[in-house]
Amino acid sequence: MYDFAVCTVENPLAPVKKMIPSTNRDEIAKFVPRQLVRMAPKSAEEVKIEIEMEAWTLQLRRSAARDERVDARQKEIAAEEARLKRRGGRKKAARKTLTAEEVAAARKRRMDAEKAIREEEERRKKEEQQNKAVLAAAAKAGASVAAVEAQKRGGGVHGKAAKEGAEDKEAAMRMQKAKIEAEKQFNERKNTLEARAARERKFEEFLSKKEDAVTTPRTMSRRRVLRIVHRAMLRQEENFVICEWGCGEWVKMGQQQHFHEHEKCRKRIIPCNLGCPLKNTEEEWMSLKEGSIITNLQHHEEVECPRRLVPCRRRCGEWVAFSDLDIHMKDLCVKRPFPELYCRLGCGETFTGGAHRMLQCEEERLEHENEMCPLRLCRCSWKGCVALVRAKDRDRHRQKHIKSTGISVYPQPGVYVYEVPEKVFQVKVQVWGAGGGSGHIKKYEGGDGGSGGFVEALLSVVPREKLELCVGSGGDKGVYGKQIEVTSWDGRYVHLL
């Protein structure tokens, strides 16, 4: 980029070269020959300043344009409010585009109104003529004009009755006239339709006779097409159009066409009722599914539609769309699984379940760690002992206390070796026998096992002597037994064993 803010001028007529600084480009271009102007490159700071000035100028232009638009909009709003104020607060009604039927109906209403006005004018003229004739006859008969006017207005009983009778008679005549007019229009319409049907039949007969006389298949097809085109033209003259969905039915333009194409046509496209993107014709929807007694629409909504409602597989009680089932089970289901909770003491016990049991699992873990975990620390209950041992080692620790008092207990079945302590010459032994197993016989009452015995004795021993102890177990449960008949040697007695 170059600038003319600083330039060097070389004047060949001047005796000495001179530097002419200037900031006006037009002035330099005017008084200095073009070939003597040498452009100097801009510095980085000058380029930056120029870019900032251009951005600032653009911003000012945009701000001015925005202010102009706002002012114009305010002026339009003020003008609209002034117009509404002049109209009394009523907005200008939007112009409605009328159909051909509405235009024809409006023309007919206007013609009927003009006809009613003309009939009303003619009736008034007749009444004036009749009034003039009555007044002239009354003047010839010598009656006063005031009496005639009072009688005409309904003065007196006879005048009022005459007026009411005249009104009833006039109403009856109008009703009869309207009835005759409606019958006339109906008959005209009927005759028109019958005449058109007769012309169509005649034309069909004519074409069929011509076809019988023609043997070329091409000509027969052409005639058939001409008949179809002729019938279509007749229908179009009566404002009938063929269905746009392709069902082939002719319907009248307007409300009948709208109802047929949106509610009645079997070829119209109908979307799925559940909101999936699948669309189909009503004929296809309502046809029976192959090998089934339900329609394609019912089969789609119950089996195939991705928006059909299905229950949660984890039985949380929610019904969700089939397309959203994976999201529900992964992120929303209250019974979705959560990471297993492990015992923090290291016994390996785990606590699992759905998200609805998260707090319950946490409580179970706390209860396990405080009350049931075999690795929890427990204080020894022996008097005077303050040791902390794990729950699984409590019995072994208690046995040490018992042995320190000179007592040894062997409750479990097995073979044990007892070493006599120093300075001990007698040992007291207490032995409890194990109980026997129970049993019974089929169809008879059974019996319980017998209880074990008890023996207590003092044994003389030698210090450091080893004694072998054998602890037995209780009797096992019995097996099903049976009775055996045994006859005495002489055959007179029978014993049941």
325-351 pLDDT, tens digit each: 989 988 888 888 888 889 998 898 998
Say which residue, 383 or 141, is predicted with more confidence: 383
123: pLDDT strictly greater than 60: yes
User: Is residue 89 over pLDDT 60?
Assistant: no
Rounded mean pLDDT, 294-318? 89
29 vs 23, 26, 32, 33, 39, CA distance in Å? 11, 5, 6, 7, 12
The structure's pTM equals: 0.34
pLDDT in tens, 442-466: 555 666 777 778 888 888 888 888 8
Query: Domain locations in the chain?
Result: 1-40, 43-75, 113-142, 239-304, 341-372, 376-411
Percentage with pLDDT > 90 across the chain: 5
* CA torsion through residues 217, 220, 226, 232, sign: negative
Q: Tell me the pLDDT tens digit for each residue of 404-438.
A: 777 778 778 888 888 888 888 888 888 888 777 77
pLDDT at residue 8 in the model: 41
Average pLDDT, the chain: 77
Residue 15 has pLDDT above 60, yes or no: no
Give the number of other CB atoms < 10 A from CB of residue 209.
Answer: 10
The least confident of 182-191, 310-319, 372-381 is 182-191
Three-state DSSP string of the chain: CEECCCCCECCCCCCCCECCCCCCHHHHHHHCCHHHCCCEECCHHHHHHHHHHHHHHHHHHHHHHHHHHHHHHHHHHHHHHHHHHHHCCCCCCCCCCCCHHHHHHHHHHHHHHHHHHHHHHHHHHHHHHHHHHHHHHHHHHCCCHHHHHHHHHCCHHHHHHHHHHHHHHHHHHHHHHHHHHHHHHHHHHHHHHHHHHHHHHHHHHHHHHHHHHCCCHHHHHHHHHHHHHHHHHHHHHCCEEECCCCCCCEEECCHHHHHHHHHHCCCCEEECCCCCCCEEEHHHHHCECCCCCCEHHHHHHHHHCCCCEEECCCCCCCEEEHHHHHHHHHHHCCCCECCCEECCCCCCCEECCEHHHHHHHHHHHHHHHHHHCCCCEEECCCCCCCCEEEHHHHHHHHHHHHHHCCCCCCCCCEEEEEECCCCCCEEEEEEECCCCCCECECCCCCECCCCCCEEEEEEECCCCCEEEEEECCCCCCCCCECCCEEECCCCCCEEEC
Task: Answer yes or no: is pLDDT of 299 > 50.
Answer: yes
